[in-house]
C-alpha cells in the first residue's frame, strides 16, 4: 500500500476539520512534487503511535503517528473490546480529561464508543485533575478508567492514559494488559471509525465524586493550625479549583496564586514547557514569592498529579527542590507519624536510595519498583510511594496513582508540624542530613530527533560499557534486560558510592541519565555530584556514544 493510499484512507474517516484540512494539504503538496511534503507524509504514516503501559502520548497531528480523533477512536474501540472480555458481567468505565486542546473531544469520542458497546459509561463534568479520575475509578468501582492528558509534555502533545479497576486495583495498566489492548486496537483499525457504533447514552457526573475526593483529601490535614505564607501555581493546568476547595475544606491557609498561570490554557502561554522541573517554569512564582516574602512555593503540573516545591536557601536564593528531596522529606514525616505500624515505603529504582535508609530507621519495608507509578501503586501494604519526577502517593487507600493535590496537603501539614517545633524547612533539611547523611540527585537528558536513536544510544552504552567514570571504578553493573525486571535500564555503581542509571523516557523522545551521590554534608555531597555530573557528560561526548549535545 502506497503512502498516498494510506493517507487517503485515513482522510476518508477523519472527522476533525483541522486535521482533515492539514492532511489534505499535505497530500496535495506531495502529489504536486513537493519533496518536503512527501517526506513529511511518509513520516506521518511510518507505523502508528504505539499503545503501551503509558497508554498513548504524542504530538497532535493528522496521521497514524500522531494523536488525533481517528487514533483515539481506534484506541477506544480496542479498549471497549478488552473491557467486555475483562469484565463481561458488569462492564463499566469512567473518563476524565484535562485542559489541553482536544482533550474534551477525545473524552467524548471515547464515551460515545464505550456507551455504544454496552459499557456503563461515566464522564467527568469538566476538565479536572488526573487524581480525581483515579479516585472516581475506585469510588464508582468501574472496570476501567481513561484520562485524556499529556501531563507536563509540550503544548502540542496530548495523551490517553488507561487504568484498570476492580481486581486490578484502579491503577494504570501494566503488562500484559497493555499488549492485549494493543492487539485489540490493531484489530479495530480494520474497520473505519465512521462505521463504529456510537451512543450518547452515557452519564455526565455531577459534583458528588469531586466532593468525595475533596473531603477525603482534606481529612489528611491533622497538624495544629498556624499561619502559612506561600505561593501556588497551577502551571496553566487544572489544579487550582480542586486544590483551593480542598484547602478550604481542611481549614488550611490559602496561597498567593500566580494569576497568569491560574486557569487552564492549552497554549501554556508563559512557559516553554509546562513542567515545573524545567528551567524558567517557576520564574513567575518566584517573583510573586519575593514580592510577598513567602516561605515556600507549591506548583502542580498541568494535570495536577505532580507537585513541585521551591524554597529560598540561606542566601535568599530561590531554588526548586529535587523530586527525590521532596519525596524523602515526605517519607521521613510520614514514617515518624506512622511509627509502629506495618507498611512499605516504595519508590522507583531511579529514585533516591535515601528511602531505604528511612524505611530501615523506622522499621518499615522498602521496595524499589520499575520506573512508573503504575508499579509503585501496586506495592503491597503501601504506606507511601514516590518517584523522582515529582510524583507522590501519600494516601494509597484513596487513589492508586500519584496525586499532586493530596501531596500538597501533606506537605503543608509537614510545614505546620515544623512550625509547632519552632523550625523551618531549612532546619528540616539540616536535621535530615544529620540523621541520614546528605543525599543529592540530578539528571542529564539527551533528546533525540528520531526514536531509533534511543535504541542506538542504549546499544552503545552496552557495547562500550565503561569500566570507570571520572576516575572512579564501576564496582557493580546491572543490565535489567537480563534480570527478572526485564526492562531497558542500566545501573552503574561506582566505588565512591555514586550511582548512574540510564533508561529511555517512557513519555518523551529522550534518554535519561539519573545521577545520585552522597556526602557527609550538603556542601560535600554537592562537590561529589558536580564532579560526577562533569564526568558523565565527558563520557557521553565520546564519539562512540555520539551525544555531543549533552
Distance CA 517, CA 496 (A): 9
DSSP bridge partners of 441: 516
Among 142, 157, 5, 140, which Cα is nearest to 71's? 157
Looking at the DSSP assignment, which residues form a beta bridge with residue 344? 365, 382
Cα–Cα distance, 114 to 447 (Å, whole number) = 37
Q: Exposed, middle or buried by CB within 10 Å (0-12, 13-18, 19+), for 113?
A: buried
- Looking at 87-203, list the stretches that DSSP marks H as alpha helix, in order from N- to C-terminal side: 103-116, 130-140, 177-188
pLDDT of res. 509: 80
pLDDT at 507: 67
Of 103, 151, 417, 547, the catalytic one is 151
- Which pLDDT score is estimated for 299? 98
**What pLDDT shows up at residue 547?**
62
d(CA 27, CA 7): 7
DSSP E strand boundaries for 287-409: 296-300, 307-312, 318-320, 344-348, 365-369, 382-387, 391-393
**What is the reported pLDDT for 60?**
97
Please confirm, yes or no, whether 151 is among the known catalytic residues: yes
- 461, three cell numbers: 552504552
Paired strand residues for 52 = 55
Measured distance CA(490)–CA(402) in Å, rounded: 25
Lookup result for grid cell 489534505: 24
Quick count: other Cβ atoms within 10 Å of Cβ 507? 17
pLDDT value at residue 549: 62
pLDDT at 223: 97
Cell 504536486 belongs to 32
| Domains identified in the chain and CATH numbers | 1-46 (no CATH), 51-206 (3.40.120.10), 230-436 (3.40.120.10), 438-540 (3.30.310.50)
Question: Rg for the chain (alpha carbons), in Å?
Answer: 24
Phi, psi values for residue 227, rounded to 5°: -75, 145
Strand pairing class (256-257; 230-233) = parallel
**pLDDT mean values, one per 10 residues, the chain (550 residues):** 92 96 95 94 93 88 97 98 96 98 98 98 98 98 98 94 93 92 97 98 98 98 97 98 98 98 96 92 97 98 98 94 96 96 95 95 96 92 96 95 98 98 96 94 87 87 93 95 92 94 84 92 92 94 72
C-alpha cell at 377: 501503586
Place of cell 475526593: 213
Joined grid coordinates for residue 300: 502542580
Cα separation, 496 vs 501, in Å, equals 15
Determine the pLDDT at residue 542.
87
Beta-carbon contacts of 503 under 8 Å, excluding residues fewer than 6 positions away, are 350, 371, 487, 488, 489, 490, 511, 512, 514
Q: What is the largest CA-CA distance in the chain?
A: 74
What residues pair up with 327 in beta bridges, in sequence order?
none
Residue 451 has what pLDDT?
74
* Strand bridging mode 92-97 / 144-148: parallel
- 543: which residues sit within 8 A by CB, 6+ positions away? none
Amino acid at each position: 500500500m502506497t503512502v498516498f493510499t494510506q493517507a487517503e484512507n485515513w482522510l476518508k474517516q477523519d472527522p476533525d476539520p483541522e486535521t482533515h484540512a492539514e492532511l489534505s494539504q499535505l497530500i496535495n503538496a506531495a502529489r504536486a512534487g513537493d519533496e518536503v511534503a512527501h517526506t513529511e507524509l511518509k513520516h506521518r504514516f511510518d507505523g502508528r503511535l504505539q499503545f503501551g503501559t503509558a497508554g498513548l502520548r504524542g504530538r497532535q497531528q493528522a496521521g497514524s503517528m500522531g494523536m488525533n480523533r481517528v487514533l483515539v477512536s481506534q484506541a477506544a474501540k480496542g479498549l471497549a473490546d478488552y473491557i467486555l472480555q475483562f469484565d463481561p458481567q458488569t462492564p463499566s468505565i469512567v473518563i476524565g480529561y484535562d485542559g489541553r486542546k482536544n482533550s474534551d473531544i477525545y473524552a467524548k469520542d471515547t464515551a460515545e464508543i464505550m456507551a455504544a458497546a454496552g459499557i456503563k459509561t461515566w464522564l467527568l463534568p469538566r476538565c479536572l485533575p488526573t487524581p480525581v479520575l483515579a479516585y472516581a475509578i475506585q469510588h464508582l468501582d468501574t472496570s476501567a478508567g481513561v484520562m485524556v492528558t499529556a501531563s507536563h509534555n509540550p503544548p502540542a502533545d496530548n495523551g490517553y492514559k488507561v487504568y484498570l479497576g476492580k481486581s486490578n486495583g484502579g491503577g494504570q495498566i501494566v503488562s500484559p494488559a497493555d499488549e492485549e489492548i494493543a492487539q485489540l486496537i490493531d484489530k479495530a483499525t480494520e474497520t473505519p471509525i465512521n462505521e463504529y457504533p456510537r451512543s450518547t447514552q452515557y452519564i455526565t457526573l455531577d459534583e458528588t465524586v469531586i466532593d468525595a475526593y475533596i473531603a477525603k483529601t482534606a481529612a489528611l490535614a491533622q497538624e495544629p493550625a498556624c499561619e502559612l505564607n506561600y505561593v501556588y501555581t497551577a502551571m496553566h493546568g487544572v489544579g487550582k479549583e480542586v486544590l483551593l476547595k480542598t484547602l478550604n475544606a481542611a481549614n488550611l491557609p490559602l496561597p498567593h496564586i500566580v494569576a497568569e498561570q491560574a486557569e487552564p490554557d492549552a497554549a501554556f502561554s508563559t512557559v516553554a514547557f509546562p513542567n515545573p522541573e524545567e528551567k524558567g517554569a517557576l520564574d513567575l512564582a518566584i517573583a510573586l514569592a519575593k514580592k510577598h516574602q513567602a516561605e515556600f512555593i507549591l506548583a502542580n503540573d498541568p494535570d495536577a498529579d505532580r507537585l513541585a516545591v521551591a524554597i529560598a536557601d540561606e542566601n535568599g536564593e530561590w531554588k526548586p527542590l529535587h523530586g527525590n528531596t521532596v519525596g524523602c522529606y515526605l517519607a521521613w514525616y510520614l514514617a515518624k507519624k506512622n511509627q509502629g505500624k506495618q507498611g512499605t515505603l516504595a519508590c522507583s529504582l531511579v529514585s533516591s536510595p535515601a528511602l531505604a535508609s528511612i524505611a530501615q530507621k523506622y522499621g518499615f519495608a522498602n521496595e524499589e519498583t520499575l520506573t512508573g507509578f503504575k508499579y509503585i501503586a501496586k506495592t503491597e501494604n503501601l504506606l507511601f510511594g514516590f518517584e523522582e519526577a515529582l510524583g507522590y502517593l501519600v494516601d494509597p487507600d484513596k487513589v492508586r496513582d500519584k496525586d499532586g493535590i493530596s501531596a500538597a496537603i501533606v506537605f503543608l501539614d509537614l510545614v505546620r508540624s515544623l512550625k509547632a517545633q519552632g523550625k523551618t524547612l531549612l532546619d528540616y533539611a539540616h536535621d535530615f542530613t544529620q540523621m541520614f547523611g546528605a543525599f543529592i540527585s540530578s539528571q542529564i537528558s539527551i533528546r533525540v530527533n528520531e526514536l531509533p536513536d534511543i535504541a542506538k544510544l542504549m546499544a552503545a552504552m552496552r557495547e562500550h560499557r565503561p569500566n570507570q567514570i571520572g576516575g572512579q571504578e564501576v564496582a557493580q553493573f546491572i543490565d535489567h534486560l537480563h534480570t527478572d525486571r526485564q526492562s531497558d535500564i542500566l545501573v552503574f555503581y561506582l566505588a565512591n558510592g555514586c550511582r548512574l542509571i540510564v533508561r529511555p523516557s517512557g513519555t518523551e523522545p529522550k534518554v535519561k541519565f539519573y545521577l545520585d551521590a552522597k556526602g557527609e554534608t550538603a556542601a560535600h555531597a554537592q562537590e561529589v555530584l558536580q564532579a560526577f555530573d562533569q564526568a558523565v557528560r565527558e563520557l557521553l561526548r565520546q564519539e562512540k556514544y555520539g551525544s555531543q549535545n549533552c
